[in-house]
Structure 1
Amino acid sequence: MTRRFDVVVLGAGAAGMMCAMRAGQRGRSVLVLDHAKAPGEKIRISGGGRCNFTNIHAGPANYISGNRHFAKSALARYTPRDFLNLVEKHRIPWHEKTLGQLFCDDSAKDIIRMLLSEMQAAGVSLWLQQSIGAVDKTESGFRIHLDSGPVEADHLVVATGGKSIPKMGATGLAYRIAEQFDLPVTETRPALVPLTLEPVLLEKLAPLSGISVEAEVRHGKTAFREALLFTHRGLSGPAILQISSFWREGDAITLVLEPGVDILARLKQARKENGRQAVQTALGESLPRRLAQFFAEEKGLPGHMADQSDKVLVSLSAAVQQWVVKPAGSEGYRTAEVTLGGIDVGAIDSRTMQAKTVPGLYFIGECLDVTGWLGGYNFQWAWACGHVCGESV
């Protein structure tokens, strides 16, 4: 016997659960399917286990897409304040970090429990550890083939995510379903991901592994000012993850270390006040000690500050604050927080998330060509597009 629902949602992630709970609240019979053992696995590991669940500044300017206007409607109709109201309704303690980022005080699991509670109250069914086979279009909707037998629905919502973090279950299923129904998919690539360096440079920077420093990282006209971390593979930290969404193979990036400090002025002052100081010691007043030592050695500056000309100090400060690096690549989907690109939003109605050419078929979340900056923006996109989809199905 085929079981039938008004709505079947593929994927028990952030967007899928938000959509399911809203559809259930509107009286729809809803089934959520997922192949994982537990719902919301990417929520659980996010934000160091505390889930950076939104950003109070989230707006269309914080998203990358082939159509920069696409996200406007959903983001306007379900705002960070709307999600925060839900968090506070469930008495989940939270705090704001830098740049408008909101985190749970205790655990990301609080957000998962909140969504499950809302789904349960709305009568939503959740089936986990389901192997999703073929998806067929029928006269009255869709048939989804499972190991336990088929289920049918008037509306099918695809919320299975992108390709990022395959160990968490990413499969690319959404793209295959889109292509099955002749919807275009743009090039996909890892985003919000650490960058790797070629072996010679990596070996040279090996002593710096583990050092974190405030930096402005630039690529073309785009720049982000946050922490930068040197790793045994290359460069990471929030500033690097941000710029990785804009960087392309073969491109260089510019690192401005300690952008709020006038390194040149400090070096000149050190030379004036204590000329017998070693260069790396003077530079160490502005940079971590190992980093200061690296630059002094790279520039070949033995001796004291009194021995250094203005030209030398200008060159040294430029090495620190105009450091051009050409990454070799990225760490890939293995560590990427999200997938850049995806289902072409030109094929999707921005008010409902429905495919324009396939009535009853919806796509939400990371599988769409909408990628947020680091800092809670991708979760806000998940809540917003899930909500408007749940309002529509």
Structure 2
Amino acid sequence: MDGQAQRYDAIILGAGAAGLMAAARAGQRGRRVLVLERADRVGKKILISGGGRCNFTNLGAGPANYLSSNPHFAKSALARYTARDFLGMVERHGIAWHEKTLGQLFCDGSAQQIVDMLLEECARARDFGGEVAIRCGEEIDSVEHGSELGFAVTTQSGHHAAPALVIATGGPSIPKMGASGFAYDLARQFGLKIVEPRPALVPLTLGGEEVLFREISGVSAPVVAMAGPKGKQASFPEAALFTHRGLSGPAILQASSYWRPGETVTVNFLPEEAPGWLTGLKRTTPRLTLRAILRERLPQRLADILADRIGLMSELGNAPDKALAEAEKRLAAWQFTPNGSEGYAKAEVTVGGIATTELSSKTMEARRVSGLYAIGEAVDVTGWLGGYNFQWAWASGVAAGDAL
């Protein structure tokens, strides 16, 4: 690195949600910040989120809504910058919003409003004696550390140096948006451990006898989906969607973050029914069949396939109570064994990433590399579907931005 490097107080790699938030926060503390983005524009994942309306946070966001090898790590940042704090910024910028189910907040208009807001916050740095320069289309050729310049970053446009470097390049989910494992490569370069990444919030695929369920592609139903180790299963009461490849929909996407290859996903198709409901119907309406009962409660094609698999064809009055109890149990805990997922191409986020043991939960700074920070999806903190991952991006970005 020669002496002609442009110097800054901090260089942030990645102009997504976390990177822009950190840049705005540091800039408004009077820092000179350079943001380098590989894509041709900032905030690409923000723009496609929430069907283009950006599910920008969740009012219920708390540590319990996140997966991490250290479930306590996210507590500090989430407590210091809450969903209400971000909502306050949204309202100051005059962005109209609405709440959907389960505390999910969306723009009334377009996700572009959130990107514009973040860029305006970066521009406000000048009011505080700071500066945020954002450069898109920048491929990182090398990152070095240890010289008198601190961190030296070389791109095709030149040399840049700063005493602080923030890794905000996300994970490998949605590669068509330019996502990659660059954050992990960089972390390894500096000796930081990585928790093995895997696709999360991702549709699951079915094979074997379960291929039958692909025949009802497009059918959706409210269910409770469960996945994870026995005794510690996470449970999600939302819609499941059958696809031409397997299972999707919010309940399945949520469960997928907890699912590991070889494990099952459990689905309760009739979560409103209490134990004993079928034997109760036998007493009151003995001439009904299970197929007819399921058709009243579920989409017809789903009802038929479940009835066929259970195989209880007689009228309820002619069925033994034991057989009805078994049918109840199966409908309340239907076991699917996915043969895989649709991978990073369809995954909304990544579970795993830079190990939290390497970072300060207060500042996001690497414990063993002074001036190196990691934020957002690059870190081993992954939120549920519904605005939680954005809230982690905002909170971790603020934590780092306040420390730069």
The TM-score, its normalising length taken from structure 2, stands at: 0.92
Give 1:185's aligned residue: 194
Q: For 1:254, give the aligned amino acid.
A: T
Q: Distance in 1 between matches of 2:322 and 2:359?
A: 57
Q: For 1:341, give the aligned amino acid.
A: G
The correspondence for 1:365, drawn from 357, 362, 376, is 376
Q: Distance in 1 between matches of 2:367 and 2:306?
A: 56
Q: Distance in 2 between matches of 1:299 and 1:59?
A: 40
Give 2:144's aligned residue: 136
Q: Distance in 2 between matches of 1:274 and 1:259?
A: 23
Give 1:325's aligned residue: 336
Check the 8 A contact 1:207/1:290 in 2, yes or no. Answer: no
Matches of residues 42-81 of structure 1 in structure 2 within 5 Å?
A: 42-81=45-84
Matches of residues 283-322 of structure 1 in structure 2 within 5 Å?
A: 283-302=294-313, 304-322=315-333
Check the 8 A contact 1:343/1:367 in 2, yes or no. Answer: yes
The correspondence for 2:385, drawn from 370, 374, 378, is 374
Q: Distance in 1 between matches of 2:294 and 2:71?
A: 43
| Alpha-carbon distance, 1:110 to partner | 1.1
| Alpha-carbon distance, 1:16 to partner | 0.0
> Could you say what secondary structure the match of 2:169 adopts?
coil
> Could you say what secondary structure the match of 1:66 adopts?
coil
Sequence identity, in percent? 53
Q: Distance in 2 between matches of 1:247 and 1:324?
A: 13
| Alpha-carbon distance, 1:232 to partner | 1.0
| Alpha-carbon distance, 1:271 to partner | 7.0
Q: For 1:258, give the aligned amino acid.
A: L
Q: Distance in 1 between matches of 2:307 and 2:60?
A: 40
> Could you say what secondary structure the match of 2:338 adopts?
coil
The correspondence for 1:249, drawn from 252, 255, 261, is 261
| Alpha-carbon distance, 1:150 to partner | 0.9
Q: For 2:353, give the aligned amino acid.
A: G
Check the 8 A contact 2:282/2:317 in 1, yes or no. Answer: no
- 2:247 is the alignment partner of 1:239: no
| Alpha-carbon distance, 1:264 to partner | 5.3
| Count of aligned positions | 391
| Alpha-carbon distance, 1:253 to partner | 2.1
| Alpha-carbon distance, 1:281 to partner | 2.1
| Alpha-carbon distance, 1:269 to partner | 2.8
Matches of residues 1-393 of structure 1 in structure 2 within 5 Å?
A: 1-122=4-125, 123-137=131-145, 138-202=147-211, 204-219=212-227, 220=230, 221-222=232-233, 223-262=235-274, 265=277, 268-269=280-281, 272-273=284-285, 275=287, 277-302=288-313, 304-393=315-404
Check the 8 A contact 1:18/1:387 in 2, yes or no. Answer: yes
Q: Distance in 1 between matches of 2:299 and 2:383?
A: 31
Q: Distance in 1 between matches of 2:238 and 2:181?
A: 31
Q: For 1:248, give the aligned amino acid.
A: R
User: Structure 2: where are the runs of 5+ without partners?
Assistant: 126-130
User: Structure 1: where are the runs of 5+ without partners?
Assistant: none
Check the 8 A contact 1:213/1:258 in 2, yes or no. Answer: no
CA offset digits 1:186-242 (Å, max 9, x no partner):
11111111111114311x112321111111122333222111111111111111111
Q: What's the C-alpha RMSD, in Å, of the aligned pairs?
A: 1.7
| Alpha-carbon distance, 1:272 to partner | 3.4
